[in-house]
Amino acid sequence: MSEHSGPHHTSKMAGADGDDSLYPIAVLIDELRNEDVQLRLNSIKKLSTIALALGVERTRTELLPFLTDTIYDEDEVLLALAEQLGNFTMLVGGPEYVHCLLPPLESLATVEETVVRDKAVESLRKISQEHSPVDLEVHFEPLVKRLASGDWFTSRTSACGLFSVCYPRVSSTVKAEIRQHFRTLCSDDTPMVRRAAASKLGEFAKVLELDYVKSDIISLFTALASDEQDSVRLLAVEACVSIATLLPQEDLETLVMPTLRQAAEDKSWRVRYMVADKFSELQKAVGPEITKNDLVPAFQNLLKDCEAEVRAAAANKVKEFCENLPEDSREQIIMTHILPCVKELVSDTNQHVKSALASVIMGLSTILGKDNTVEHLLPLFLAQLKDECPEVRLNIISNLDCVNEVIGIRQLSQSLLPAIVELAEDAKWRVRLAIIEYMPLLAGQLGVEFFDEKLNTLCMAWLIDHVYAIREAATCNLMKLVEKFGAEWAQNTIVPKVLGMANDPNYLHRMTTLFCINALSEACGQDITTKQMLPVVLKMSNDQVANVRFNVAKSLQKIGPVLDSNALQSEVKPVLEKLATDTDMDVKYFAQEAISGKLVFPPPAAETSLYVRFYRSGKPDDHAVFLSSSTVLSLA
């Protein structure tokens, strides 16, 4: 909102005595304390409306003090409040008065609920930018100090996120104090605070002068990375990335690498997991030389780790790690150091490890080129296509495109087909669902001929699966195939089979025909829809099962836009009118819906009550502005 609209608007409202436009605001203010949490939430979300009506003066002197003590409320209300206050600067009178927002945000920064605290810190960070340098030292920095030396760890954890935003804009004496506070928090008694400090270490390092990074941050980093609690140590790994980025290459070896090496071999698997998880970032941060000398052996160790979680995290990074290796020695490193480990992982005992590897391994083919792929990777792909765990097979199939580019899919298709068929017939419907979702991709890779020959029957079989989710996905799959192969292909291969199911004795299969028509009509176009599909739909309006009949009504509504107006008038309308007099109430309902051609969207429950009350008072329009536009539209 613009700077002058606020006061202008307010004077108009306050000026008119007994102005009934105050009424909705009065409701909003009273509902800040309503018993219904949804109404309170509503009011908090419209806090700017309240503040606007009160004017900047009363917002500062009355509304904010009230909000400062409102921290007893439900989390979702506090969360909304913390968020609102981050955008409140103009409503309290602009940057000059922005410090008035500090007390309520300070109390929100001490609540026990992490999401609320984080949001309060986020808002504090936001409004810190709106403080003048003087205000920052007079108001903001003391708040940070208060939080940092608070009795409870909730306030100290919140302080950790605020140092970096005020540090660059304060005098050097205050900077020294801030560094001291941060140091203290890094050795706090409670692990919660040390964790918060560790997670903000990288961010804080970024705003520090390089000399202080070397003197202060490195010692804190080293201390946190050897904390007695592994939950703290693992967060130091994250900080390692940012710190390494900041330091000149020649300092990395002495200042960062000892700690990083230690983390990669930590006794706790959770720390090693973190190293594996952040490996690509670490690799970029330390540069090619250290990568070659240190990270390659470290990565090999992680791929062979005794804990499966660590191996899985490392396996996930195989492709990225290889991609980012220095180009001159990339192939040699992969072939001699990485590939042997990868080969072992293909037959790992843990299926999560295998499936993590399967989701990235195909990416190696682009890096290694055709010959190496055929010689070294292809046997691995083939082995994984035969893996006992369906997830592994699925992950391989879902990444076929990478391989297709390098060696062409024909090399694989012999093994591919049995793998696909097996997944398509898996006893677990979720596995069947997953393979259906890859069908359009596979069809694109394998081409129309291979598809027609080998996969088409599978796609049609899914339409009569006994699980609804599979039938539904199968119809959606058909639509995507038609988009890929075109209407003509559809007319020859799919449409006849789909329409044939309209005479199936099972009504569920007859309904599948209708669902398919719904999905296909647009992709097939007017001609096929009008000439081939419409007659079938119309004929089904005489079905003996009511569910089929009302789905006919729904289908007619759905395919209506694709049909020409002639057919609509002469064929569709009489059928719908007949259905509208059906004995079954659902059929009647949907037929009428289709005739009137519109859907009813009920208004959101939360706002109804507020609105209905206004509505009953007879003046809905005056208050419509306070409701979301969608509600106004549907009810006005």
Annotate 561-571 with b (16+ C-beta within 10 A) or e (fewer).
ebbeeebbeeb
The identity of residue 370, as a single letter, is K
Among 517, 520, 546, which Cα is nearest to 534's?
517
Binder of other proteins out of 48, 49, 226, 231 (CB under 8 A):
231
In the numeric block, which tokens belong to residue 531? 């000439």
Least gap, CB of 616 to other proteins (angstroms): 11
Q: Tell me how far apart the alpha carbons of residues 501 and 530 are, in angstroms, rounded to a whole number.
A: 18
Least gap, CB of 593 to other proteins (angstroms): 37
CB 255 within 8 A of CB 295: no
Q: Can you count the helices (H) and strands (E) in the chain?
A: 47, 0
Binder of other proteins out of 5, 19, 347, 410 (CB under 8 A):
19
Least gap, CB of 54 to other proteins (angstroms): 6
What are the CA-CA distances from residue 186 to residues 68, 86, 192, 197 (Å)? 29, 27, 10, 6
Write out the H or E segment, with its range, that includes residue 249: helix 249-255
CB 249 within 8 A of CB 229: no
Nearest CB to other proteins, comparing residues 356 and 364: 356
Binder of other proteins out of 1, 30, 335, 468 (CB under 8 A):
30
Interface pattern 257-276 for other proteins (x via CB under 8 A): ---------xxxxx------
Binder of other proteins out of 88, 153, 221, 590 (CB under 8 A):
153
Interaction between residue 145 and other proteins (CB under 8 A): no
Q: Tell me how far apart the alpha carbons of residues 197 and 192 are, in angstroms, rounded to a whole number.
A: 9
Interaction between residue 497 and other proteins (CB under 8 A): no
Interaction between residue 468 and other proteins (CB under 8 A): no
Binder of other proteins out of 1, 26, 176, 633 (CB under 8 A):
26
Least gap, CB of 252 to other proteins (angstroms): 27
CB atoms within 10 A of CB 619: 12
Q: Tell me how far apart the alpha carbons of residues 286 and 247 are, in angstroms, rounded to a whole number.
A: 9
Interface pattern 593-612 for other proteins (x via CB under 8 A): --------------------
Among 135, 43, 53, 51, which Cα is nearest to 88's?
51
Least gap, CB of 1 to other proteins (angstroms): 19
In the numeric block, which tokens belong to residue 545? 């099962």
Nearest CB to other proteins, comparing residues 232 and 439: 232
Write out the H or E segment, with its range, that includes residue 631: helix 629-635
Choose the stretch contacting other proteins; rule: CB under 8 A; options: 56-64, 175-183, 257-265, 590-598.
Answer: 56-64
Give the interface size with other proteins as a residue count (CB under 8 A): 49
Distance of CA 89 to the CA centre of its chain: 30
Binder of other proteins out of 11, 114, 129, 180 (CB under 8 A):
114
Q: Tell me how far apart the alpha carbons of residues 520 and 522 are, in angstroms, rounded to a whole number.
A: 6
Choose the stretch contacting other proteins; rule: CB under 8 A; options: 12-20, 412-420, 578-586, 590-598.
Answer: 12-20
Binder of other proteins out of 84, 123, 154, 242 (CB under 8 A):
154
Give 116's contacts (C-beta < 8 A, 6+ positions apart).
75, 78, 79, 82, 108
Interaction between residue 353 and other proteins (CB under 8 A): no
Least gap, CB of 30 to other proteins (angstroms): 5
Q: Break the chain down into helix, strand, coil percent, rounded to 5.
A: 80, 0, 20
Interaction between residue 146 and other proteins (CB under 8 A): no
CB 572 within 8 A of CB 565: no
Nearest CB to other proteins, comparing residues 231 and 398: 231
Q: Tell me how far apart the alpha carbons of residues 490 and 475 are, in angstroms, rounded to a whole number.
A: 13
Binder of other proteins out of 306, 599, 600, 605 (CB under 8 A):
306
Q: Tell me how far apart the alpha carbons of residues 72 and 89 are, in angstroms, rounded to a whole number.
A: 24
Binder of other proteins out of 7, 9, 25, 535 (CB under 8 A):
25
Least gap, CB of 571 to other proteins (angstroms): 51
What are the CA-CA distances from residue 608 to residues 30, 45, 611 (Å)? 17, 16, 5
Interaction between residue 288 and other proteins (CB under 8 A): no
Among 320, 316, 265, which Cα is nearest to 291's?
320
Least gap, CB of 154 to other proteins (angstroms): 5
Binder of other proteins out of 4, 18, 173, 597 (CB under 8 A):
18
Give 398's contacts (C-beta < 8 A, 6+ positions apart).
359, 438, 441
Interface pattern 61-100 for other proteins (x via CB under 8 A): -xx-xx--x--x----------------------------
Nearest CB to other proteins, comparing residues 73 and 582: 73
- Burial grade of 400 (CB within 10 A; 0-12, 13-18, 19 or more): buried
Binder of other proteins out of 137, 309, 452, 584 (CB under 8 A):
309
What are the CA-CA distances from residue 197 to residues 115, 185, 208, 215 (Å)? 17, 6, 15, 17
Nearest CB to other proteins, comparing residues 30 and 527: 30
Among 411, 420, 336, which Cα is nearest to 379's?
411
Least gap, CB of 14 to other proteins (angstroms): 8
In the numeric block, which tokens belong to residue 619? 């003046």
CB 127 within 8 A of CB 144: no
Q: Tell me how far apart the alpha carbons of residues 585 and 89 are, in angstroms, rounded to a whole number.
A: 56
Interaction between residue 36 and other proteins (CB under 8 A): no
Choose the stretch contacting other proteins; rule: CB under 8 A; options: 111-119, 274-282, 505-513, 568-576.
Answer: 111-119
Least gap, CB of 502 to other proteins (angstroms): 40
Choose the stretch contacting other proteins; rule: CB under 8 A; options: 95-103, 172-180, 224-232, 580-588.
Answer: 224-232
Binder of other proteins out of 6, 32, 416, 523 (CB under 8 A):
32
Nearest CB to other proteins, comparing residues 230 and 522: 230
Interaction between residue 12 and other proteins (CB under 8 A): no
Interaction between residue 54 and other proteins (CB under 8 A): yes
Nearest CB to other proteins, comparing residues 69 and 425: 69
Binding site for other proteins (CB under 8 A): 14, 17-20, 22-23, 25-27, 29-30, 32-33, 53-54, 58, 62-63, 65-66, 69, 72, 110-112, 114, 152-155, 190-192, 195, 228-231, 266-270, 306-309, 617
